[in-house]
Amino acid sequence: MSERYDRGMKVRREVLGDAHVNRAEQAKSEIDAPFQALITEGAWGTVWASDAITRRERSMITLALLAAMGNFDEIPMHVRACANTGATMRDVMEAFQHVAVYCGVPKANHAIKLAKQTFAEMER
């Protein structure tokens, strides 16, 4: 694999945790291997690997974008990643307030529901 892939896998593990990445790697098949390489190199090896902004800020932006676009399935994963990026529950709620004002209350409301559930699970 490429240097960007290796860097992406390192960052992906630092942000999402080994257990999550190991599950994703075990579930990978011939069909989705090119897609997994794409997100590892592009999302993790380029965007998340950049030091232009902090991982805390990147978590907040990512969660706001997921909520704004209605991509709710990935919100719990990125809320759990906050434990590794330094984004607090308050940071997440601030990001979702922006979503409410600029993209719609229903999207923010659903994202907040998912975040609250995930933070509660993380406390157990």
pLDDT tens, residue order, the chain (124 aa): 799 999 999 999 999 999 999 999 999 999 999 999 999 999 999 999 999 999 999 999 999 999 999 999 999 999 999 999 999 999 999 999 999 999 999 999 999 999 999 999 999 8
- pTM, two decimals, is 0.94
**Residue where the block lists tokens 């709710």:** 72
Q: What is the DSSP string of the chain?
A: --HHHHHHHHHHHHHH-HHHHHHHHHH--TTTHHHHHHHIIIIIIIITT--SS-HHHHHHHHHHHHHHHT-GGGHHHHHHHHHHH---HHHHHHHHHHHHHHH-HHHHHHHHHHHHHHHHHHH-
Q: pLDDT at position 1, please?
A: 73
Q: pLDDT at position 120, please?
A: 97
Question: Residue 7 is which amino acid?
Answer: R
Residues carrying CATH 1.20.1290.10, the chain: 54-124
Q: Which CATH architecture has domain 54-124?
A: Up-down Bundle (1.20)
